[in-house]
Amino acid sequence: MSLLPILKWPDPRLAQVCTPVVDPAAVEQLVTDMFETMYAAPGRGLAAPQIGVMARLFVMDAGWKEGDMTPLACLDPRITLTTDATATATEGCLSVPGVTADVTRPAEITLTFTDLTGTAQEVTLTGAAATIAQHELDHLDGIMHFDRIDPAARDTLLADYAKGQGV
């Protein structure tokens, strides 16, 4: 196992759409390393493009910070159902340290994905788990959390981030 370097915005790979995972067995070590990296960061989710791997894969654990370990590795995830109800949560991102934004998303989703054994899975997620899964899935499509807010607020957040990064 090893910790992987996390790309920081504005690395252009963070704005790219990822390709499907061809062989689940081939990413098993990568998934292990992604979990280790996510927990060490410390984050609740990590998408493959955040570590420079342009594959449709993310890992998440919505409850570990409260002591309830619920690790989930999702290959080729898709949201197949959302509710009309929405929830707004303050989202941060390991690729944009210190930048949080209040993002409104569906409050409940059904997520389908392939697990590491190649088996199709389907889970219904609510609360933090739903937010995290949607955030990580956005990464696979080249979308950042700040892309989901008002353009003026986005510009202010990114300007503050650039100042903090010495850009």
Is 103 contained in some domain?
yes
Q: Is 36 annotated in the active site?
A: no
pLDDT in tens, the chain (167 residues): 689 999 999 999 999 999 999 999 999 999 999 999 999 999 999 999 999 999 999 999 999 999 999 999 999 999 999 999 999 999 999 999 988 999 999 999 999 999 999 999 999 999 999 999 999 999 999 999 999 999 999 999 889 888 877 55
Is 83 contained in some domain?
yes
The predicted pLDDT at position 33 comes to 98
β-partners of residue 60 are: 45, 72
135 is in an annotated binding site: yes
CATH of the domain at 124: 3.90.45.10
139 is in an annotated binding site: yes
Q: Which of 66, 91, 108, 136 is catalytic?
A: 136
Is 1 contained in some domain?
no
Q: By the 8 A CB rule, do 149 and 64 touch?
A: no
The predicted pLDDT at position 160 comes to 87
Domains contained in the chain, number: 1
User: How much is the pTM?
Assistant: 0.95
The predicted pLDDT at position 164 comes to 79
The predicted pLDDT at position 166 comes to 56
Which residue range is the domain that position 88 belongs to? 12-164
Is 40 contained in some domain?
yes
93 is in an annotated binding site: yes
SS (H, E, C) 28-89: HHHHHHHHHHHHHCCCCEEEHHHHCCCECEEEECCCHHHCCCCCEEEEEEEEEEECCCEEEE
Indicate the Cα dihedral angle 73, 143, 89, 85, nearest 10°: -90
